[in-house]
C-alpha cells in the first residue's frame, strides 16, 4: 500500500470540511467510478454520504468518456471519484464538472509552475511546444430523480502525475504527465489535498448562487479555434469555429455556411494548421 495516500495519512492532512470527511483508499479496483456507484446502489438512504471520496492506487478497468479506457501505472497518479447528492436541476451537472475542472487546474498550478488550459468539455491540457497535451480528464455520471432533480452524481477524475515520458500511451490527443512536463516527481498528497479544498470552496460558492462559467471559459483553449466535433454514437460530425459556449457550457460551433450548432456532449479535435491542435 502507498503510505502517502493511505486513509490515515489523508485524514490527518485534510482540513475539517465536509468534502473527503468520508475517504476510502483502495490499493486496487476496477474503476473508482464503478466502485462508488456500487456503494451508492447497495447503501441505505444518504449512505455513503454527500462528499464521500474513493481513491485507488491502481485501476484495472479505468473508464474514460465515450466508452474509452483510462489507464495509469500503479501508484503513479491520482485516480478518484467523489459522490455528490446535490438536489439541483439536472442541467447543473455541467457546473459540477466546471468547478472540478477549475479546482484541479488551480491545484496543479499550485504544485507546479505549469499553466493549465481546458479543452472542451473537460480535458485539462498543457501546452508543450505549441501542442496541447492532455494531463487530466473527468467523467461525471449522474442519477436524475423525480422533477428532473439530480439525486446523485459520481464525479471521477484522473490526473497523470508521476508517469514517465516513456510510459505514456499514444493517443490522438497526445498525453503528458506532470512529472514529464516539469522534469521531477510531484507530490500526489499535496495535489489531492489542494484539489479537495478548492473543490469544496467552489461547491459552497455554487450553493450560494455563484456561477463558475466565467472562470471556466477563461481557461477554455477551444474557443476561437477551428474544430471538428464528434458527438456520442459517432453518427454526426460538425466542423467549424468554436465561437462560444452557452450558460450551461454547451459548445457553439459556427460552420462555414454560418449556421451555429449547439454541442452538448462529445469530443472536439482542434484542427491542424493552427497554433495548437
CB of 62 to ligand BTN, least distance (A): 4
| Residues 6+ positions from 104 with CB-CB distance below 8 Å | 116, 124, 136, 138, 157, 159, 195
Residue nearest to ligand BTN (CB): 137
- Rule CB under 6 A: is residue 33 a binding residue for ligand BTN? yes
Q: Based on CB atoms, which residue is closest to ligand BTN, 70 or 120?
A: 70
- Which residue lies nearer to ligand BTN by CB, 120 or 202? 120
Is residue 23 a contact point for ligand BTN (CB under 6 A)?
A: no
Binding residue (CB under 6 A) for ligand BTN from 81, 101, 112, 245:
81
Q: Which is nearer to ligand BTN, 33 or 245 (CB)?
A: 33
Q: In the complex, what is the shortest distance from the CB of residue 68 to ligand BTN, in angstroms, rounded to a whole number?
A: 5
Beta strand pairing status for 23-26 and 53-56?
A: parallel
Contact predicate 63/32, CB 8 Å: no
Position 157 contacts ligand BTN (CB under 6 A): yes
Work out whether 104 is an interface residue with ligand BTN (CB under 6 A).
no
- How many H helices and E strands in the chain? 6, 13
Number of chain positions touching ligand BTN (CB under 6 A): 20
Q: Yes or no: say if 107 and 201 are a contact pair by the CB < 8 Å rule.
A: no
Dihedral, CA of residue 190, residue 193, residue 194 and residue 195, to nearest 10: 120
Q: Which residues contact 68 (CB under 8 A, 6 or more apart)?
A: none
Should residue 79 be labelled a site residue for ligand BTN when binding is judged by CB under 6 A? Answer: yes
Burial of residue 272 (number of CB atoms within 10 Å: 0-12, 13-18, 19+): exposed
Residues forming the site for ligand BTN (CB under 6 A): 31-33, 59, 62-65, 68, 70, 79-81, 123, 137-139, 156-158
Amino acid at each position: 500500500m502507498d503510505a502517502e495516500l493511505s486513509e490515515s495519512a489523508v485524514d490527518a492532512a485534510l482540513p475539517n470540511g465536509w468534502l473527503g470527511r468520508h475517504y476510502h483508499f483502495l490499493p486496487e479496483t476496477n474503476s473508482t467510478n464503478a466502485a462508488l456507484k456500487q456503494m451508492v446502489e447497495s447503501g441505505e438512504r444518504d449512505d455513503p454520504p454527500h462528499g464521500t471520496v474513493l481513491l485507488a492506487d491502481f485501476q484495472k478497468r479505468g473508464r474514460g468518456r465515450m466508452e474509452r479506457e483510462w489507464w495509469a501505472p500503479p501508484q503513479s497518479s491520482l485516480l478518484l471519484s467523489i459522490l455528490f447528492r446535490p438536489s439541483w436541476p439536472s442541467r447543473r451537472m455541467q457546473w459540477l464538472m466546471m468547478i472540478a475542472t477549475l479546482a484541479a487546474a488551480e491545484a496543479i498550478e499550485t504544485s507546479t509552475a505549469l499553466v493549465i488550459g481546458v479543452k472542451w468539455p473537460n480535458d485539462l491540457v498543457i501546452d508543450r511546444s505549441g501542442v496541447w497535451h492532455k494531463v487530466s480528464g473527468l467523467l461525471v455520471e449522474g442519477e436524475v430523480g423525480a422533477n428532473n432533480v439530480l439525486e446523485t452524481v459520481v464525479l471521477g477524475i484522473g490526473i497523470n502525475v508521476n508517469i514517465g515520458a516513456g510510459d505514456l500511451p499514444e493517443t490522438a490527443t497526445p498525453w503528458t504527465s506532470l512529472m514529464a512536463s516539469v522534469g521531477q516527481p510531484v507530490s500526489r498528497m499535496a495535489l489531492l489535498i489542494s484539489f479537495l479544498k478548492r473543490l469544496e470552496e467552489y461547491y459552497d460558492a455554487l450553493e450560494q448562487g455563484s456561477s463558475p462559467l466565467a472562470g471556466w471559459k477563461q481557461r477554455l483553449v477551444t474557443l476561437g479555434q477551428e474544430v471538428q466535433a464528434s458527438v456520442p454514437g459517432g453518427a454526426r460530425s460538425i466542423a467549424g469555429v468554436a465561437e462560444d459556449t452557452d450558460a450551461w457550457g454547451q459548445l457553439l460551433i459556427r460552420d462555414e455556411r454560418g449556421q451555429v450548432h449547439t454541442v452538448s456532449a462529445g469530443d472536439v479535435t482542434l484542427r491542424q494548421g493552427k497554433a495548437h491542435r
